[in-house]
Amino acid sequence: MTTEHETAVGTSGHMPSVRARAERRAARRSQVTRRRRRAAIAAVLAGLIAPFGYSYVTTMLEPSSLPLGIRSVEWAREHGFRWLVNDAENVWYRWHAPAKGGPALTTLPQITTPGTPARRAARHVALPDTLRLAIRPRLPGEGVWHPVGIGGSPVYVTTFRSDPVYPQNVAYLAWIDHSRTQLALYPGRYEPPSAPVRGPMQVPYGERWRLIAAFNSGFTYKDGQGGFAIDGKSYEPLRRGLATLVAHRNGSVNVQTWNGGPTPPRNIVLARQNLPLIVVDGRPSSRLNDSRAWGATLGNAIRVWRSGVGIDKRGNLIYAAANYQTVSSLANILIRAGAVRAMQLDINAEWPSFNVFAASGGRNAVKIVPNGQQQATRYLSPDDRDFFAVYRRIPHLSLSVPLK
């Protein structure tokens, strides 16, 4: 017979075992539930991320003229993270803004190009106007124009200190004689987005024998909404009121405010737009103080690498690029170089490029703008962005943009 004490002990000894097993089963069920929940969340996230991952990998595997880091940033900008990239750029540039003053330069960066000094050019050859320096006394070679080809080159280059408040800033300039050159505009792989004929996306092999220089174009269409046209074909519609670099069939070029329709007339070979004019009648545009006119990313006051192109009083082109510039200071650089009208081109360290070719066939390439993220041979292979090429003009040739 089981005593009351034995029954109590037996019951007392049995009850914890049952409860423990129940608790372990509940714990296992909870653990399984948590694992399944995590797996479900991971599956959902993987499903959401997979298209982005596929897009990123396939984009990075495509041919490009850009380093991986820049391409990754551009991919993020185009896939829903434009706001993040823009905010990061603003913060970075504000943290790294140049300090005013500081020690003055004693020498200027040397641009090593074959050629003869401007003063030795033939008398009948047009020469750039004398550069109006911003800082005195002049450093050796400062503001002195040099041709970049062999004898009688139609392209001249120079450097100078652009701002006494920032005495270490150096501007890089190129002057292009419109009477002896032909300007061409080429689409890149991705710019402009609409391209009835994208062409070689590089300087065509058949024209490299007369190639003198190549330089960057303007903002992407998404950022600038600028029109683009070649040989009567409208790639992106031209917009009234925007600054426009045009070349005519007679060889003349201009930088002007566009007042025509979405497609240029037949006498215009090419047209590329980018924001409003920054120089009007030889003076800074009154719109330079309107930050809304210069985009939401960096506006007009952030000091970054900027490039621009202008026209002088004789109809010749002037290209300028410099680091730590606002839109206003870029305008002043172009005015000092002789521009009566000018427009901003692309900005940020990776984009400004002006490369010259001192021998036929695209040989002896030299970077005038010290862009460490691009090669001097940029534009001799397919490039992501659209660009301009400068050729020696062939007399009596009906001008168009050569694509072969």
What pLDDT does residue 354 have?
A: 97
Q: For the chain, which residues score pLDDT lower than 70?
A: 1-16, 45-46, 48-49, 51-52, 54-55, 59, 63, 65, 73, 75, 77-80, 82-83, 85-87, 89-90, 92-93, 96, 112-124, 149-151, 292, 295-301
Query: Is residue 274 assigned to a domain?
Result: yes
pTM: 0.83
Distance set, CA 231 to CA 186, 199, 203, 256, 288 (Å)? 11, 12, 17, 18, 32
Strand order in the sheet with 387-392: 181-186, 387-392, 211-216, 354-359, 363-367
Encode the chain in three state secondary structure.
CCCHHHHHHHHHHHHHHHHHHHHHHHHHHHHHHHHHHHHHHHHHHHHHHHHHHHHHHHHHHCCCCCCHHHHHHHHHHHCCCHHHHHHHHHHHHHHCCCCCCCCCCCCCCCCCCCCCCHHHCCCCCCCCCCCCCCCCCCCCCCCCCEECCCCCCCEEEEEEECCCCCCCCEEEEEEECCCCEEEEEECCCCCCCCCCCCCCCCCCHHHHHHEEEEEECCCCHHHHCCCEEECCEEEECCCCCCEEEEEECCCCEEEEECCCCCCCCCCEEEEEECCCEEEECCEECHHHHCHHHHCCCCCCCCCEEEEEEEEECCCCEEEEEEEEECHHHHHHHHHHCCEEEEEEEEECCCCCCEEEEEEHHHEEEEECCCCCCCCCCCCCCCCCCCEEEEEECCCCCCCCCCCC
Query: Is residue 45 assigned to a domain?
Result: no
Q: What amino acid occupies position 336? A: R
Query: Is residue 124 assigned to a domain?
Result: yes
Crossing angle, helix 82-95 and helix 68-78, to 10 degrees? 130
Both structure tokens of 255: 């930088």
Please, which residues have CB within 8 angstroms of residue 131's CB and are 6 or more apart in sequence?
143, 145, 158, 160, 173, 336, 337, 338
The residue range of the domain holding 388 is 118-392
Q: What is the CA radius of gyration of the chain?
A: 30
* 354-359/211-216 β-pairing: antiparallel
Among 204, 216, 158, 181, residue whose Cα is nearest residue 355: 216
What pLDDT does residue 124 have?
A: 61
Query: Is residue 79 assigned to a domain?
Result: no
Query: Is residue 250 assigned to a domain?
Result: yes
Among 225, 159, 161, residue whose Cα is nearest residue 191: 225
Query: Is residue 100 assigned to a domain?
Result: no
Burial of 399 (0-12, 13-18, 19+ CB in 10 A): buried
Query: Is residue 77 assigned to a domain?
Result: no
Query: Is residue 245 assigned to a domain?
Result: yes
Total domains in the chain come to 1
